[in-house]
Amino acid sequence: MKELKTINDVLATLDNIIQETEENNDTLGYFAVLYNRVTLKVKEEIEAGYFEDAERMEKLDVIFAKRYIDAYYDYRSGRPVTRCWDKAFKLSTDFWPVTLQHLLIGMNAHINLDLGIVAAEVCKGGKIEDLRTDFYKINEILSSLVNEVQDNLCTIWPPLRRILLKTGQYDNMVVDFSMKIARDGAWNFATELFGKNEEEIPGCIQTRDIAVAKVADIITNNRLSIEILLKIVRLGEIGTVSGKIRKLKEMETEPSATAVAV
């Protein structure tokens, strides 16, 4: 794998993962496409001067992406990964989760665990409060894309919107989760890590990983009536996994009504 030094290096590596998963008909490609979209958005905002410190934000973006990319290749090679990423990757072998669940469980691991770790890391030798404004800006971009993808998927697979709206679970399953990942949890974790001694950090990360892995159950475990409805939605998803990956890639250039305003 190419060494990651710039956002362009990240984008090239994500393209490789997307191509690999598309060729292998692998549902892990769903999150890779979403993450590619996130990275492109962050790159655009860095170049547009959206962040207070562009150089620091590119560094954060690269280190942030590396945690996902390393986890992906470690899992492929049979090496251990964090609990929350292990749950996300293992979901790829299950037929029943709908595409949206694959995306959300990946976002759970990457935002609720990885983002705080990376934020603390890039602030070493400085003050973490200096990052606060830019941290919340990148969180706005990340969380807004949940709704964007939600709308896109419901356009491709109308039964998802119709059934979840009818049961009143639409907001609970998607928007509620969006609020959870956008809240202060990731920042609080970053500040907690920043205040730890080096020898305390691994244990702190492990404790957080256990908690984030439990959050994954919100996405994968539902009461029986919702499980049945999700299975109906899953059977209504037309096309192969590769076809869905291609469809998600096509949507990258489409304007979104729910994109964050900057």
* pLDDT digit string, tens, across residues 122-149: 999 899 999 999 998 887 776 666 556 6
Burial of 178 (0-12, 13-18, 19+ CB in 10 A): buried
pLDDT digits (tens, 9 = 90+) for 13-26: 999 999 999 999 99
Cα–Cα distance for residue pair 25/218, rounded to 1 Å: 26
Residue 27's nearest CA partner among 217, 174, 244 is: 244
Predicted confidence at residue 255, as pLDDT, reads: 40
**pLDDT (tens digit, 9 = 90+) per residue, 193-229?**
999 999 999 999 999 999 999 888 777 776 676 677 7
Measured between alpha carbons, how far is 214 from 132 in angstroms, rounded to an integer?
Answer: 27
Q: Is the pLDDT of residue 182 over 60?
A: no
CB atoms within 10 A of CB 93: 9
Distances (CA, A) of 149 to 132, 143, 207, 219, 225: 26, 10, 30, 16, 24
Residue by residue, DSSP assigns 73-137 as HHHHTT----HHHHHHHHGGG-S-S-HHHHHHHHHHHIIIIIIHHHHHHHTTTS-GGGGHHHHHH
For residues 38 and 141, the answer to whether their CB atoms sit within 8 Å is yes
Q: Which residues contact 208 (CB under 8 A, 6 or more apart)?
A: 112, 113, 116, 189
Residue 234 has pLDDT above 70, yes or no: yes
Amino acid at 29: G
Contact 28, 80 (CB under 8 A): no
| pLDDT value for 203 | 96
Domain ranges of the chain: 7-253
| Model confidence at 12: pLDDT above 90 | yes
Q: Which residues contact 122 (CB under 8 A, 6 or more apart)?
A: 56, 59, 60, 63, 131
Q: Which of 4, 5, 26, 7 is nearest to 245 (CA)?
A: 26
Q: What is the pLDDT of residue 191?
A: 95
pTM of the model: 0.83
> How confident is the model at residue 220, as a pLDDT?
75
pLDDT of residue 139: 73
Q: How far apart are the first and last CA of the chain?
A: 34
181: left (phi over 0), alpha (psi -120 to 50) or beta: alpha
The tens digit of pLDDT for each residue in 96-112 reads 787 778 888 898 899 88
Identify the three-state secondary structure at position 42.
Answer: helix
What whole-number distance in Å separates Cα of residue 146 and Cα of residue 210? 23
Instruction: Give dist(CA 145, CA 257) in Å, integer.
Output: 11
pLDDT of residue 145: 66
Which range is least confidently modeled, 11-20, 50-59, 251-260? 251-260
Band (pLDDT 50/70/90 cuts) for residue 258 is very low
Q: Answer for the pair 41, 253: CB distance below 8 angstroms, yes or no.
A: no
Q: How far apart are CA 209 and CA 211, in angstroms?
A: 5
Residue matched to tokens 């362009």: 8
In order of 67, 72, 84, 220, the CA distances from 1 in angstroms are 13, 12, 23, 31
